Structure 1
Amino acid sequence: MRILVTGATGFVGGAVVSELALRGHTVLAGSRRGTDLPNAQGVTLDVTDPAQVMRVFGEANSEAVIHLVGIIHETGAQTFERVHFEGTRNVLAATPRGARYVQMSALGAREDSGSRYSSTKGRAERLVRESGLPFTVFRPSLIFGPGDDFFGRVLRELVSTAPIVPQIGDGKFPFRPVSVEDVARAFAGALEQPETVGQTYDLTGPEEFTFRQLLELELSALGKKKPIVPVPLALMDLAVPAMQVLPKPPITRDQYAMLKEGNTAPNEPARTVFDLPMLRLQDKLPGIVGKA
């Protein structure tokens, strides 16, 4: 199958492209720089430019599209609205009618979310369902693997910066992280299983953790011992906005809102439908933080 992948050079994109190539598919790797990958031809693609998207998709002659483009924080013109919502609208408009379509959403995506990240992901899902294309939507939880942003940067900085580790509130918010390998396997599998058309799947890992347990796992993986000190939500509500004046805040407003909500769901039916290996966070975390 000839497949065009948007966001192909990102953390998840690289894993998805590798899995598709391993299965014998021909992959076009779309990214803003058009970078070639070892197993895929690069094409220059900015999903926020509707004219470019239409031209590239017309030339690609692809049988399937996997739309992965997403951002964790907003920078200049790269806003959640422009990238998640308008970018999805542009990609859907350019996708050939009848081509297989797979969308990267996020666990907790909903239009009325207090997080702009989650709300734009939810609105993008609506566009997909109204598109008339044979679609599949995936909603991953926190994704872990070499190069991930949350465990490899956000949580690492949180437990490393100060003599104590700040814990948001009571630390009981639940999470069910999923490996990037499981995510890639699910995306590739959807293209090979017609029964997944029209379906939305939560992608979560084998075990659920509280936020405090994630802090403890991160400390252990880094070989550090520090006291974990709860910070009342009322204080965090004041501190997080103040952090936004920093060039690169340790946590954004949207990340904070999503952390307070938690991020968990059962791993079925995705685990069975796509025969996912369900890799464990605690086995992979030392390698993610550079300690293995």
Structure 2
Amino acid sequence: MKQQSITDVLMVGATGSIGRFAVQTAQRHGLHPRALVRDVQRAEQLLPGVELVQGDLEDPASLRRALHGADALVLTHGSGSDARPDARAHIDYGGVRNILLAFGDARPRVALMTSIYATRDDVPGASPWKRRSERLLRTSGLPYTIVRPGWFDHAGPTQRRLVLDQGVTADGGIARHQIAETLVRSLLADTALGKTFELTATEGGEQKDWSVLFGALQADAPDAVDGVRDPANLPVAAEPPALRADLQAAGSLRKTG
């Protein structure tokens, strides 16, 4: 599978701590980032000189406008600042659902950031909503890479060697700029397409050949809802009817794309 040419990248979560790094990284690689923001005035202070597009993950009409012309998306949004008890369902999951359904016939490349604990049910506080968002993206048939970073900022300055792992037993830290670099680099490498992996950093020098880094990973199985080595601990058949309906809606994108 070969990627399309990428220039215009819509950044979702651009004013967040990872998103701001991702915008800078995209610029450094010669891409044109556009930032999806709810509050334009606030975003102008955080992202000076960056093209801003007003929109809201819970407003499908605004997403359709924002997505127009995008070759790719980097999704680093999260519900951490949302006080609603069901924020993860609305933002972590619902944001991805609403974006996918807003695409229409467009087929942009997607880099989605979730969590190293996305599939874990043995970790206190772990939530299935990010895993559910991943499932929507895989089911859509869009070209994607899913990055599951470890603990933000739990990597020192000498931990420059990235570890891309599969098998959901990985644990560890990663610097925010390393997450952003990996997300943007995944848009530029054919070897990253269709892959899901955990991302941490360890002692050692920075790797230079991203094609080799991504190429060492297994691709997710065609038509699979889960990552290549994900545990079978969240059966789709046991999911609520509304979530199964969302998967079916996402699957319709594959048929019409």
TM-score past 0.5 threshold: yes
Deviations 1:209-246 (A, max 9, x none): xxxxxxxxxxxxxxxxxxxxxxxxxxxxxxxxxxxxxx
Counterparts of 1:108 and 1:271, CA distance in 2: 25
What does residue range 231-242 of structure 1 map to in structure 2 within 5 Å? none
Counterparts of 1:131 and 1:17, CA distance in 2: 25
Are the equivalent residues in 2 in contact too, given 1:32–1:46 (CA < 8 A)? yes
Which residue does the alignment assign to 1:106? 115
Are the equivalent residues in 2 in contact too, given 1:20–1:188 (CA < 8 A)? yes
- Going from structure 1 to structure 2, the CA distance change for 1:113 and 1:83 (only over 3 Å counts) comes to farther
Structure 1 SS opposite 2:91: helix
Structure 2 counterpart of 1:49, from 59, 68, 88: 59
Are the equivalent residues in 2 in contact too, given 1:111–1:123 (CA < 8 A)? no
Which range is displaced more, 105-114 or 10-19? 105-114
TM-score, normalisation: structure 1: 0.57
Which residue does the alignment assign to 2:179? 183
Which residue does the alignment assign to 2:150? 141
Which range is displaced more, 174-183 or 100-109? 174-183
Letter in 2 for 1:102: A
Any unmatched runs of 5+ in structure 1?
146-173, 208-266, 275-292
Letter in 1 for 2:213: V
- Going from structure 1 to structure 2, the CA distance change for 1:28 and 1:18 (only over 3 Å counts) comes to same
Q: Which has the higher helix share?
A: 1
Counterparts of 1:33 and 1:3, CA distance in 2: 19
Structure 2 SS opposite 1:80: helix
What is the CA RMSD across the aligned residues, in angstroms?
A: 2.8
Counterparts of 1:21 and 1:79, CA distance in 2: 31
Letter in 2 for 1:41: E
The alignment status of 1:15 with 2:11, answered yes or no, reads no
Which residue does the alignment assign to 2:248? none
Which range is displaced more, 107-116 or 196-205? 107-116
Counterparts of 1:116 and 1:131, CA distance in 2: 28
- Displacement after TM superposition at 1:56 (Å): 2.1
Letter in 2 for 1:180: R
Are the equivalent residues in 1 in contact too, given 2:116–2:171 (CA < 8 A)? no
- Going from structure 1 to structure 2, the CA distance change for 1:198 and 1:43 (only over 3 Å counts) comes to same
Letter in 2 for 1:193: A
Higher CA-based Rg: 1
Any unmatched runs of 5+ in structure 2?
1-6, 155-169, 215-257
Structure 2 counterpart of 1:273, from 195, 200, 213: 213
- Displacement after TM superposition at 1:63 (Å): 0.6
- Displacement after TM superposition at 1:32 (Å): 1.5
Structure 2 counterpart of 1:206, from 202, 207, 213: 202
Are the equivalent residues in 2 in contact too, given 1:3–1:64 (CA < 8 A)? yes
What does residue range 139-288 of structure 1 map to in structure 2 within 5 Å? 139-144=148-153, 175-206=171-202, 273=213
- Displacement after TM superposition at 1:178 (Å): 0.3
Q: What is the number of equivalent residue pairs in this alignment?
A: 185
- Going from structure 1 to structure 2, the CA distance change for 1:22 and 1:65 (only over 3 Å counts) comes to same
Structure 2 counterpart of 1:121, from 130, 138, 143: 130
Structure 2 SS opposite 1:129: helix
- Displacement after TM superposition at 1:132 (Å): 1.1
Deviations 1:134-191 (A, max 9, x none): 011000011118xxxxxxxxxxxxxxxxxxxxxxxxxxxx951101121111111111
- Displacement after TM superposition at 1:113 (Å): 6.7
Counterparts of 1:128 and 1:81, CA distance in 2: 15
Identity %: 28
Structure 2 SS opposite 1:124: helix
Letter in 2 for 1:22: R
Counterparts of 1:197 and 1:3, CA distance in 2: 16
- Displacement after TM superposition at 1:50 (Å): 1.7
Counterparts of 2:12 and 2:86, CA distance in 1: 16
Are the equivalent residues in 1 in contact too, given 2:76–2:113 (CA < 8 A)? yes
Deviations 1:81-126 (A, max 9, x none): 0001111101112235321111111101028577676310011010
Are the equivalent residues in 2 in contact too, given 1:97–1:133 (CA < 8 A)? no
